[in-house]
Structure 1
């Protein structure tokens, strides 16, 4: 079994016929058919069955396909790495929206200072989409705040973060330094979109404490939510890292969760079969430099007592 055999197998599976695969690979149809026969002999079983004019994967073929794709992807990465030694390389970096807003620009700057020839492609969206992009190899690595569910992905917690309750000067909570969780009942909130790690963490919290909140704003932009807090009599729960300027200038009052239920970690994520390049190793080192987080002295308290 060789890389050539796997290339032919994956192409036949994707094209649906020997003739289409042969055309796609610029090979003769007998050459493609022979490669599939050799692969089936090697694994002692059929990989395709014909129904009408189209080929369909057997159970053995469905078992082989994702592993074959991964091996081809790793081979391509190895070829690129070895052929581009001393030349520019590319890192496709995903970030969830909170991370992309408050950390990714400085992370990329530090990466390119360490690796001047590195070309970084940055893709920012919510946790759910990032997870799918990693599984499909559309991204090399990502930094996320939400929960990753696939066992195919490696998750390394690296950066401390916490959500806080934010209120602007127009809200009665602004002049307080302590509020009780049940005071959130019936309050208007600006919240993130579905698929966001921030939203999931807050919704889980609200469910545990049987809170009934009113969603008045919904957006995938933290800045939009923060502007709603600043200009309207409305609350929001978001990362404290997004409000450094506003906290210093006293335009918002923030409350930390006394029980630590809103504490979390930003995580480095990549596929378990990912060929780890120097750029990914350097990325992990840079992320650890952001690990610690200091809370302001005048922060308020959200209590359950």
Structure 2
């Protein structure tokens, strides 16, 4: 039994004649007759009484007619909905917290201006969460600063970024212009949450340098980290892009790594089996337009 069978049944019930139903549906009359017989055989019931070359719908036929109309209406609504969905392109972009705070707003606006017909959705989380959502096809593309672990994801370096050592203007380090790894031993820091690419890079650096710091505050958001720097006497290793305003005001002092050990990139990430749409290529081209940050 198919939607086609139900449409033929409705036409026969409404016209009362197979020949009229055949003309209405642009089908041959034997096709109409065969469909009605197949329906009756499928449901093991008689849908029409055949009396003096006329058709009279049975009680069972009337019950089926109401249900068939509802089923056909629901199917047509489904068809219309899916047709509208396929006419509108949906593009889901994931971004890590750093990218979401300093790059994503202007990137989305540039994307909207150049491709206004695309319906975009964005999600902000740490690198581990973005990676998981890409693997589950909950996102089409991601922009992350962390290391992607899954071999099923393609990661392309796109935008240069730099982490700097940041402290308040009242911190003892505010008078310094440079530092060495041992200077960080035992100091109080505000850190990103586990799963963050920023935290992973800094922890790898600490481990390689055999340095131990005190994580006094764990903060998943840039604003919380800046407050910890300004008001709780904590230091932080943070993207220079996130403290540009505070640097201009002079409320935060920064120290770039003397050997550029905290240089990194924002990477465009997508599944290796993902169909690369025009939106994906457009996003890639937009990312290429963002220049490296100035760090003094």
Settle same-fold status: TM greater than 0.5.
Answer: yes
Partner of 2:157: 157
Q: Flag the structure with larger Rg.
A: 2
Kindly report the root-mean-square deviation, in angstroms, between the aligned alpha carbons of the 2 structures. Answer: 1.6
Partner SS state of residue 186, structure 1: coil
- Residues 114-129 of structure 1 mapped to structure 2, 5 A cutoff: 114-129=114-129
Aligned to 2:293, the other structure's residue is in SS state coil
- Give the structure 2 partner of residue 220 of structure 1: 220
Please name the residue that 2:130 is paired with.
130
Stretches (4+) displaced over 6 A: 80-83
CA drift of 1:82 comes to 11
For structure 1, which runs of at least 5 residues remain unmatched after alignment? 1-79, 297-305
What residue is the counterpart of 2:68 in the other structure? Answer: none
Question: For the residues of structure 2 that align with 1:171 and 1:239, how far apart are their CA atoms?
Answer: 19
1:39-77 Cα offsets, whole Å, 9 max, x none, are xxxxxxxxxxxxxxxxxxxxxxxxxxxxxxxxxxxxxxx
1:179 alignment partner in structure 2: 179
User: CA 1:215/1:83 → structure 2, altered by over 3 Å: closer, same or farther?
Assistant: closer
**SS of corresponding position for 2:179:** strand
Judge conservation of contact 1:157–1:266 (CA < 8 Å) in 2. Answer: yes
Deviation at 1:94, TM superposition (A): 0.2
Equivalent in the alignment of 1:102: 102
In structure 2, relative to structure 1, the CA distance for the partners of 1:170 and 1:140 (3 Å cut) is same
Q: Structure 1: how far apart are the matches of 2:215 and 2:148?
A: 25
Which residue of structure 1 lines up, in the alignment, with residue 277 of structure 2?
277
Provide the secondary structure at the position in 1 that maps to 2:137: coil
Aligned to 2:55: none
TM value normalised by structure 1: 0.68
Corresponding residue for residue 255 of structure 1: 255
Q: Secondary structure at 1:178's aligned position in 2?
A: coil
Tell me what 1:24 maps to.
none
Alignment correspondent of 2:286 = 286
Alignment size in residue pairs: 215
**SS of the counterpart of 2:109?**
helix
Higher strand share: 1
- 8 A contact 2:94–2:123 mirrored in 1: yes
Judge conservation of contact 1:90–1:118 (CA < 8 Å) in 2: yes
2:155 match: secondary structure = strand
Equivalents in 2 of 1:189, 1:240: separation in Å?
Answer: 16
Q: Give the structure 1 partner of residue 47 of structure 2.
A: none
Q: Which runs of 5+ in 2 are unaligned?
A: 1-81
* 1:93-140, Cα deviation, whole Å (9 max, x unpaired): 000110001111111000010101111111100001111100110000
Contact 1:170 1:232 in 2 (8 A): no
| 1:81/1:108 CA distance change after superposition, 3 Å | farther
For 1:243, what is the secondary structure of its paired residue? helix
Partners of 2:166 and 2:253 within 8 A in 1 = yes
**Structure 2 contact 88–119 (Cα < 8 Å) conserved:** yes
Look up the match of 2:200. 200
Query: Given that residues 157 and 265 in structure 2 are in contact (C-alpha distance below 8 angstroms), is that contact kept between their aligned partners in structure 1?
Result: yes
Post-superposition Cα deviations, 1:151-178, rounded to whole Å, max 9, x if no partner, equal 1111110000011000002211112212
